[in-house]
Structure 1
């Protein structure tokens, strides 16, 4: 996409960032507004707005970098674990696919998501949602 995309600019070296991984597949750098210090964003080098826009052959290599970065965040920061997350369009602050890797420790103050929870009216309603998703998979 070019330098008009902040993450493309970071990947191209045109925008400064604290880079922690840089290869032919992905670039990972510290989030400028971290949840916790050491919060990393992993982005594909080639512009893709969302996960569904990432070409299928690129998915495996990209997520190998995500896996590698999750391990590096845990080891490098002596974190007990990580929170790994991604938004697609909604709440996606930059329109370039990015995976958040946030270092976690017990009692670190992160309370998870404050999403409202709902219930299906019954098993039939749940089954109808599952059917719709399965139908979409079949195309």
Structure 2
């Protein structure tokens, strides 16, 4: 059985599609943070950001721009938030990007953990560049 993300992206279950192309389908989130909250899902099963290749990633980015423009035109927000969650934070087990309008006093926020960094940014940089 296909995952729910594949079913939504391929219109095999009811979804409120607002845009699609050969690679992706954009649907309204059924539990929106704001009116217009949209999910961008690849039609092919891709579970994680690290599995994306050029065609779907370009289609996802292009769609995020189109959705942002539409949300801005329709809702006149103070800004747009674009979020993508991986690993245990991916509740669909299918890659999806959230795009939604934001307003100055909307209550949505980024909560940072209260930890102190014990390593220098230069050391972090050196650790990461070894991965490329």
TM, length-normalised to structure 1: 0.85
Give matches, 1:78-93, under 5 Å: 78-93=76-91
RMSD across aligned positions (CA): 1.6
| Structure 1: gaps of 5 or more residues | none
- Secondary structure in 1 aligned to 2:89? coil
Q: Does 1:129 find its partner at 2:124? A: yes
Distance 2:54 2:37 in 1: 27
Q: 1:120 aligns with which of 113, 117, 122?
A: 117
Counterpart-to-counterpart distance in 2, 1:122 and 1:55: 33
The structural deviation recorded for 1:118 is 2.8
Question: How far off is 1:51 after superposition?
Answer: 1.2
Q: Higher RCO, 1 or 2 (CA under 8 Å, sep at least 6)? A: 2
Alignment length (residue pairs): 132
CA–CA distance in structure 2, aligned partners of residues 86 and 66 of structure 1 = 11
Write the deviation string for residues 35-57 of structure 1: whole angstroms up to 9, x where unpaired.
Answer: 11211101112111111101234
Where does 1:57-72 land on structure 2 (aligned, <5 Å)?
Answer: 57-72=55-70
Counterparts of 1:22 and 1:35, CA distance in 2: 22
Tell me the TM-score normalized by structure 2.
Answer: 0.89
